[in-house]
Amino acid sequence: MIAQHYKDMLGAKSVIREISEWSTARGKEIGYENVFDYSLGNPSVACPAQFTQTCLHLLERTDPVALHGYTPTLTLPEVRAKVAESLNRRFGMDYTADHIFMASGAAGALAHAVRCVAVPGQNIVTFAPFFPEYKPYVEGAGLTLRVAPPRVEDFQINFDALDALVDENTAAVLINSPNNPSGVAYSAETLTRLAAYLTAAGEKFGHHIFLISDEPYREIAFGGLEVPYPAKFYPDTLTCYSFSKSLSVPGERIGYLAVNPKAEDAAYIVPMCGQISRGTGHNCPSGLFQRAVAECIDLTSDLSVYETNMELIYAELKRLGFTVNKPDGTFYIFPKALEEEMKKLASALDKPAQRKQVKLEELQKEEKQSVHPTEKAKTQQVQKAPKKEAEPKQITPKAPGMQK
Ligand SMILES: Cc1ncc(COP(=O)(O)O)c(C=O)c1O
């Protein structure tokens, strides 16, 4: 008998995947370069030429038996050391190789993180809006995902909503900054308050509450913003990172989990990841790509196109009258949906006698923020990034004071 649980999941189609499939099909009709496909979070810029060169170099000059062999259960020590050094240099942390575990992207890191700190029956709290895959990541580990509504004016943490959801069964709080899809990065003030809250809640419930910080968009920050590093604020933090977006290599499935050395039982967590990998089958990510990202640890693709696009789309949404926060980073933007306007239109159209009089323009007058729902955003100038590999960008710590 096949597993009913996964069979049931087949009914819950992902809207993102549906749009992606539609875009691919449309691309076959009119050329994919003519389709603005905003579905999957695939980078639109090429990886740095140096990344390709590094891979070629590794393929040409490394003993193939060693290069393509299994990597250790806890992943390659020299790679883990390079990740630790980079994080220490950039964020003033004190990681060693023992605190780093290479994983299959942020998804793999999250799969390990939730299993490290929670047991079936416990819950993990996150904040809306959130990356929809958090549900399968968390539920797949036998846990419940609780979702706190956001503080809509700025999408920082709504602490009252958080407090209403945290209880004795809460194992961790899961954050994502800069956020998919709001584009908002948590400020130092928010993270300071979150750390105080989690410390107090941990004392109240008699166990540490971990912070799982999902950071695949850490490097995509706008206006020179230095995105605050959550582990700097709270000791019990597991940082989940992916090179998918920073180096534009999502297909290579490479990232890491970093355990704050000050976390409870920090010394056990990476060895535990080795055990978790055995059970989940997420073990030993590609040796080639572990080595390649270590060689390019402080590089990114040319990510500037995302800021250019954000400025264009943001300005146009504002011009059209949308309520929208200006993203701090990522390649997402999150305007307020025209729900109220649509409800009014739908109810008006339900009454045939009124149909003729109902003009959407009249509804617009009532609501200052309204725009014609079918008016097409003029985003034609939005850049499609060049296909060829871009010049790499060096990650350099930014001036203090740029922190949000
Ligand atoms: C917020 C967030 N977390 C995690 C992931 C998973 O990252 P990866 O595909 O690199 O594992 C994504 C991917 O888009 C994401 O947007």
pLDDT tens profile 252-283: 999 999 999 999 999 999 999 999 999 888 88
Pocket test for ligand 1, best of 39, 42, 244 (most atoms within 8 A of CB): 244
Q: How far apart are the first and last CA of the chain?
A: 53
Return the pLDDT at 356: 53
Q: How confident is the model at residue 362 (pLDDT cuts 50, 70, 90)?
A: low
DSSP-assigned letter for residue 241? E
Q: How far is the CA of 310 from the centre of ligand 1 (A)?
A: 19
pLDDT band at residue 303 under the 50/70/90 scheme: very high
| Residue 384: pLDDT band with limits 50, 70, 90 | low
Query: What pLDDT, on the 0 to 100 scale, is given for residue 257?
Result: 98
Q: Whose CA is nearest to atom 16 of ligand 1?
A: 180
Q: Give CA–CA dist 113/360, Å, rounded.
A: 49
pLDDT at residue 355 is higher than 60: no
Distance 221 CA to ligand 1 centre (A): 16
Whether residue 349 is predicted with pLDDT greater than 90 in this model: the reply is no
Neighbour count for residue 354 (Cβ, 10 Å): 11
Kindly report the backbone phi and psi dihedral angles of residue 240, in degrees, each rounded to the nearest multiple of 5, phi listed first: -110, 120
| Range 84-87 contact pairs with CB under 8 angstroms and sequence separation of 24 or more | 84/258, 86/297, 86/298, 87/258
What 3-state class would DSSP assign to 73? coil
The yes-or-no verdict on residue 154 having pLDDT over 90 is: yes
Q: Give the integer Cα–Cα distance in Å for 273 and 389.
A: 34
What pLDDT does residue 94 have? 98
* Residue 110 CA, closest ligand 1 atom number: 4
Cα-to-centroid distance, 106 and ligand 1 (Å): 6
Q: Which of 18-22, 128-132, 199-203 has the lowest mean pLDDT?
A: 18-22
Cα of 77 from ligand 1 centre, angstroms: 24
The whole-number pLDDT of residue 337 equals 86
The first and second tokens of residue 312, run together, are: 């264009």
Picking from 160, 165, 163, 132, the residue whose alpha carbon sits closest to that of residue 147 is 165
pLDDT category at 134 given cuts 50, 70, 90 is very high
| DSSP result, 271-286 | HHHHHHHHHHS--S--
pLDDT at 388 over 70: no
Report the pLDDT averaged over residues 148-163.
Answer: 96
Which letter does DSSP use for residue 221 in this model? Answer: B
Q: Which of 103-112, 241-250, 349-358, 367-376 has the lowest mean pLDDT?
A: 367-376
**pLDDT tens digits along 60-115:** 999 999 999 999 999 999 999 999 999 999 999 999 999 999 999 999 999 999 99
Residue among 36, 198, 221, 218 at smallest CA distance from 117: 198
Task: Determine whether the shortest distance from the Cβ of 183 to ligand 1 is under 6 A.
Answer: no
Question: In the structure, what pLDDT confidence band is assigned to residue 12 with cuts at 50, 70 and 90?
Answer: confident
Mean pLDDT of the chain: 89
Name which residue sits closest to atom 7 of ligand 1, judged by CA: 106
* 257 CA → ligand 1 middle, Å: 13
The verdict on the CB of residue 180 being under 6 Å from ligand 1 is yes
Full-model pTM: 0.86
Compute, in angstroms, the gap from residue 240 CA to the centroid of ligand 1: 10
Cα Rg of the chain (Å, integer): 23
202 Cβ below 6 A of ligand 1: no
User: What type of residue is 344?
Assistant: K
Nearest one of 355, 349, 273, 303 to 103, comparing CA atoms: 273
Mean pLDDT on 141-165: 97
* Ligand 1 pocket, residue 254 CB under 6 Å: no
131 lines ligand 1 (CB under 6 A): yes
How many angstroms separate the CA atoms of 185 and 327, rounded? Answer: 8
Strands (E), 188-242: 210-214, 237-242
Note the pLDDT of residue 339.
83
